[in-house]
Amino acid sequence: MILEGQIRKMITEYKKPVQYYLNLKNDFLDVNAQLGKKIRIYHDHNECLGCGLDKEIFRMGFCKNCFFTLPQANENIIRPELSTAHLGLEKRDLEWEKKFELQPHITYLALSSEVKVGVTRVSQIPTRWIDQGATSAIVLAETENRYQAGVIEVALKEHLADKTNYQRMLKNEVPDVDLIAQKDLFKIYIPEEESIFYSTDNTLYQFNYPVLKYPEKIKSLNLNKQKEYEGILTGIKGQYWIFEDNTVWNLRGHEGFYVILTI
Ligand SMILES: [Zn+2]
Between the CA of 74 and the centroid of ligand 1 the distance, in Å, is 14
Q: Grade residue 27 by pLDDT with cuts at 50, 70 and 90.
A: confident
Question: Cα separation of 77 and 12, whole Å?
Answer: 21
39 shares its domain with 117: no
- Domain edge (last residue) among 191, 206, 221: 206
170 shares its domain with 220: no
Please provide residue 254's backbone torsions phi and psi, each rounded to the nearest 5 degrees: -120, 20
Between the CA of 45 and the centroid of ligand 1 the distance, in Å, is 14
Between the CA of 55 and the centroid of ligand 1 the distance, in Å, is 7
CA–CA–CA angle 144, 162, 130 (5° rounding): 75
Q: Could you give the 3-state DSSP secondary structure of residue 5?
A: strand
90 shares its domain with 186: yes
Per the prediction, the chain carries an average pLDDT of 96
Please provide residue 96's backbone torsions phi and psi, each rounded to the nearest 5 degrees: -65, -45
Between the CA of 136 and the centroid of ligand 1 the distance, in Å, is 35
132 shares its domain with 24: no
42 shares its domain with 108: no
88 shares its domain with 202: yes
Q: Residue 257: CB partners within 8 Å, gap ≥ 6?
A: 6, 7, 43, 46, 47, 57, 223
Strands 219-220 and 247-250 come out as parallel
Instruction: Please say whether the beta carbons of 20 and 240 come within 8 A.
Output: no
pLDDT in tens, 105-139: 999 999 999 999 999 999 999 999 999 999 999 99
Domain that holds residue 161: 74-206
Q: Is residue 68 part of a domain?
A: no
Between the CA of 127 and the centroid of ligand 1 the distance, in Å, is 26
Does residue 21 have a pLDDT over 90? yes
pLDDT (0 to 100) of residue 228: 98
Does residue 234 have a pLDDT over 90? yes
83 shares its domain with 199: yes
Alpha carbons within 13 angstroms on the beta-carbon side of residue 21 total: 11
Question: Cα separation of 253 and 221, whole Å?
Answer: 10
Q: Is residue 15 part of a domain?
A: yes
Which of 50, 89, 206 minimizes the C-alpha distance to 137? Answer: 206
Q: Say if pTM beats, i.e. exceeds, 0.85.
A: yes
Between the CA of 209 and the centroid of ligand 1 the distance, in Å, is 33
CA distances from 195 to 85, 95, 201 (A): 21, 29, 14
Question: Cα separation of 247 and 34, whole Å?
Answer: 16
Between the CA of 253 and the centroid of ligand 1 the distance, in Å, is 16
pLDDT (0 to 100) of residue 3: 95
Mean pLDDT of 24-49: 95
Q: Is residue 178 part of a domain?
A: yes
Question: Cα separation of 181 and 48, whole Å?
Answer: 43
- Domain edge (last residue) among 161, 187, 206: 206
Between the CA of 51 and the centroid of ligand 1 the distance, in Å, is 4
Q: Residue 10: CB partners within 8 Å, gap ≥ 6?
A: 20, 21, 22, 23, 31, 236, 239, 251
146 shares its domain with 108: yes
Question: Cα separation of 64 and 140, whole Å?
Answer: 35
Q: Is residue 165 part of a domain?
A: yes
58 shares its domain with 83: no
Q: Grade residue 102 by pLDDT with cuts at 50, 70 and 90.
A: very high
Q: Grade residue 25 by pLDDT with cuts at 50, 70 and 90.
A: confident
Number of structural domains in the chain: 2
- Domain edge (last residue) among 206, 222, 254: 206
Between the CA of 62 and the centroid of ligand 1 the distance, in Å, is 5
169 shares its domain with 220: no
Strand order from edge to edge, sheet including 11-13:
11-13, 19-23, 28-30
Q: Is residue 69 part of a domain?
A: no
16 shares its domain with 102: no
Share of the chain above pLDDT 90, in %: 95
Question: Cα separation of 91 and 87, whole Å?
Answer: 11
199 shares its domain with 243: no
